[in-house]
Structure 1
Amino acid sequence: MEAKKVEVQLREDIFNVPIKKHVLWEVVKWQLAKRRAGTHSTKTRGEVAYSNRKILPQKGTGNARHGDRGAPIFVGGGVAHGPKPRDYSYHLNKKVRRKALKMALSDRAKEGRITVVEDFTFEAPKTKTAVEFLKSLGLDGQKVVVVIPEKDEVIQKSFRNLPNAIVLPVEGLNVYDILWANHLVITKNALQKIEERLGK
């Protein structure tokens, strides 16, 4: 399937804002922290499966004094100050996130890495169709984010097997994925929705 490019005028207040790297860094850091599972866990000396009997008398053996077998000093003992399950997410102001999204889009626009295409649909979920679509834009083999107006299972399944392509609905558009991509392909309808979302 061939993509049809569209000539459009990108809004200055969204696609041409000053870029502040520290703001982008702050938002990427926040996104990655939010994605962390935080399921890491270790057992303390109170949780390992050992008796808490003192392993040798305090005095008289000539050995160093020890308590039970589960002490952190022994192999197989508990871990001192080890990781426990925790939530890594934290709050980041909406205004900062919004600004960063505009900055990321502006960065790609300034480098000429945004292509706007006519809205499209695929008849059936086929990777071959997705490859042809990207080839027609000269983007095969590049890291691409395709932005569509809303979730479309057929389109998303078609691109799913391509390691260098991500399909995002407008509501899922984010700084990390924009900066990851070499190129953004945005449908005409999706562009309109982006302008509605960020141009308030």
Structure 2
Amino acid sequence: MKIGKIEVKDEVFNVRVKKHVLWEVVKWQLSSRRQGTHSTKTRGELGYSGRKLLPQKGTGNARHGDRGANILVGGGVAHGPKPRDYSYSLPKKVKKLALKMALSDKAQNKSILIVDTIELGDVPKTKNALEFLKKNKIDSEKVLIVTPQKDEVIYKSFRNLPNAKVLPVEGLNVYDILWSDKLVIHKDALEGIYKRVEA
């Protein structure tokens, strides 16, 4: 398969896409990102006195125990959330397959651009990043730029643009690929992508 003038591997960029596999991996990714720090207090954790609110009988009111009961306003929460870890494991095979499928989806929709260089000068400048996007006619789309390794100049030049993300090959993931409208891959990053999905 060819993208532009560059020949790419069919087993990475021309795989049959199965939506369910992509969904499974995106769900796993987003679950791993969840902080899980939510917490509510049970009736046992509140600072109220445990004194009985009113006598059990003879007042004509409903029976009540202490002030922290969950049916009262300001009382504890019954079955509320507690801090927990939402992450779970997924087979490596599935993760690699989903990465291939996400790349194939972009390739089949002609949404991949492979560039020889990303020339932005020696100092990070958002202006240079915008010029790069305009030159390639992708300034109005959500763009994911894949570099061979972490590059501070490229990363800092694009970080103020809400519709652009920069990732080194080792950080490439299904969620960010599917988020983007256009995938810009540095030519030297291709080898790293092959290693990621074939290792």
- TM-score norm. by structure 1 comes to 0.95
Checking the alignment, whether the CA contact within 8 Å between 1:102 and 1:198 is kept in structure 2 is: yes
Separation (CA, whole Å) in 1 of partners of 2:23 and 2:14:
19
Checking the alignment, whether the CA contact within 8 Å between 1:114 and 1:186 is kept in structure 2 is: yes
What corresponds to 2:72 in structure 1? 74
Q: Secondary structure at the match of 2:45?
A: coil
Separation (CA, whole Å) in 1 of partners of 2:187 and 2:149:
12
**RMSD in angstroms over aligned alpha carbons?**
1.3
Identity of aligned residues (%): 66
What corresponds to 1:54 in structure 2? 52
What corresponds to 1:192 in structure 2? 191
Separation (CA, whole Å) in 2 of partners of 1:8 and 1:110:
15
Checking the alignment, whether the CA contact within 8 Å between 1:149 and 1:190 is kept in structure 2 is: yes
Separation (CA, whole Å) in 2 of partners of 1:80 and 1:167:
44
Between the two proteins, the alignment pairs up a number of residues equal to 196
User: Relative contact order, CA 8 A, sep 6+: which one is greater?
Assistant: 1
Q: Secondary structure at the match of 2:184?
A: strand
For structure 1, the residue ranges without an aligned partner over 5 or more in a row are none
Separation (CA, whole Å) in 1 of partners of 2:195 and 2:96:
13
Checking the alignment, whether the CA contact within 8 Å between 1:118 and 1:188 is kept in structure 2 is: yes
Alpha-carbon distance, 1:78 to partner? 0.3
Q: Deviations over 1:110-169 (max 9, x none)?
A: 000000001335311111011001111100020000000111111111100000000000
Structure 1 moving runs of 4+ over 6 Å:
none
Show the 5 A alignment for 1:43-192.
43-122=41-120, 123-192=122-191
Separation (CA, whole Å) in 2 of partners of 1:182 and 1:173:
15
Checking the alignment, whether the CA contact within 8 Å between 1:6 and 1:117 is kept in structure 2 is: no
Checking the alignment, whether the CA contact within 8 Å between 1:33 and 1:88 is kept in structure 2 is: yes
Q: Secondary structure at the match of 2:138?
A: coil
Asked if 1:24 corresponds to 2:25, the answer is no
Checking the alignment, whether the CA contact within 8 Å between 2:96 and 2:196 is kept in structure 1 is: no
Alpha-carbon distance, 1:6 to partner? 6.5
What corresponds to 2:38 in structure 1? 40
